[in-house]
Amino acid sequence: MRNARADAFENTPRDVIATGNEYPSHYVLPAHSHRRGQLLYASTGVLTAITGEGSWVVPPRRALWIPPGVSHEVHMGGPVSTRSVYVTPEAALAAGLPERCQVIAVSPLLHELLLEAVDLPAEYELDGRDGRVMALLLDEIRRMPALPLNTPLPHDKRLAALCRELLDRPSQEMKIDDMARRAGMSRRHFTRTFREETGMSFTAWRQQACLLAALTRLGNGDAITQVAMDLGYGNPSAFTAAFRRVLGVAPSRYLGMS
């Protein structure tokens, strides 16, 4: 099904349903949740999903698994084409799908299955070819590796608000002392609390936020040099080295990988 609202088929008598949608640049889906789990696939374009636990960036040919009932908002970095698979809680549990949000790789086979699934009727034949496509789709989702494309948010309200601000305007130039002062904490209290609540040091978190913001901009065609400078890196080489260290390849290659 294409351009269909998710709530239109929550009660469809099928464990797995797929839809496709097109969104304009900078479109925002306000916070919402589904009874079903959702695999949100960026066929083209880059999107960002935000929950109470963190922020996930989904480049082209990657997908985000969102468990049933998790409230999330979605921001389109540019024009985005999505394919979504909605799975009942019972089927998600039986298939062994993750219990928390997770960005996953998308294999060529999973890509083709997603494209095929959106063209199936809502009440497809369970015992025929269409049912086998959907069963294979779940199998392929389960075997995909997780990718380090999220930035966790702390639970402390002061820290969470500051982190949301930094996600909106990420910069390597934001210092620990400045964050601690704005949070009304000593440097020691801030660093200890931040690590306890996110599992990361603030320095590592800040770098992750910058690199994921860079993915959105690079996906929209911005030049590496401009992105590096805007994010506070001293030069493009420093940015490229950090990108490769965290994501495994240079930024010029990453968005072309499938």
Q: What is the mean pLDDT of residues 127-134?
A: 95
Co-location of 233 and 161 in the same domain: yes
The residue type found at 96 is G
pLDDT at 99: 93
Among 24-28, 179-183, 242-246, 249-253, which stretch is predicted with the lowest mean pLDDT?
A: 249-253
Last residue of a domain, one of 121, 147, 173: 147
Question: What is the residue-wise DSSP string for 139-202?
Answer: HHHHHSPEE--EEE--SSHHHHHHHHHHHHS--TT--HHHHHHHHT--HHHHHHHHHHHHSS-H
pLDDT exceeds cutoff 80 at 6: no
Q: How many domains does the structure of the chain reveal?
A: 2
Nearest-angstrom CA–CA distance, 4 and 14: 16
Tell me how far apart the alpha carbons of residues 151 and 66 are, in angstroms, rounded to a whole number.
15
Distance between CA atoms of 161 and 109, rounded to whole angstroms?
40
Q: How confident is the model at residue 252, as a pLDDT? A: 80
Interval 161-188 mean pLDDT:
93
Per residue in 209-256, pLDDT tens? 999 999 888 888 889 999 999 999 988 999 999 999 888 888 888 876
Q: Is the pLDDT of residue 198 over 90?
A: yes
The pairing of beta strand 62-66 with beta strand 146-147: unpaired
pLDDT of residue 184: 94
Of 131, 147, 163, the domain-final residue: 147
Which of 147, 163, 194 is the C-terminal boundary of a domain? 147
pLDDT number for residue 95: 94
Confidence of residue 3 (pLDDT cuts 50, 70, 90): low
In a domain, 213, yes or no: yes
Assess whether 75 and 191 both reside in one domain. Answer: no
Tell me the pTM: 0.88
What's the CATH number where 44 sits?
2.60.120.810
CB 152 within 8 A of CB 200: yes
DSSP three-state, residue 17: strand
Say if residue 183 is in the same domain as residue 112.
Answer: no
State how far the Cα of 156 lies from the Cα of 72, in Å rounded to an integer.
19
pLDDT band at 74 (very low <50, low <70, confident <90, very high): very high
Q: Which residues are CB-neighbours of 21 under 8 A, at least 6 positions away?
A: 2, 3, 4, 81, 82, 84
- Alpha carbons 153 and 106: distance in angstroms, whole number: 25
The CA distance from 163 to 80, in Å, is 25
Which helix H or strand E contains 102, and what residues bound it?
strand 102-105
77 has a pLDDT exceeding 70: yes
pLDDT (mean) for 72-81? 93
131 and 174 part of one domain: no
Q: What is the reported pLDDT for 11?
A: 82
Which residues form the domain of 250?
153-254
Return the residue matching tokens 């210092």.
175
CA distances from 131 to 87, 111, 122 (A): 14, 17, 11
At 230, which CATH number?
1.10.10.60
Whole-number percent of the chain with pLDDT over 70: 96
Residue 225 in tokens: 């040099």
Closest CA to 138 of 99, 103, 102, 96: 96
DSSP summary character for residue 78: S
User: How much of the chain, in percent, has pLDDT values that exceed 90?
Assistant: 76
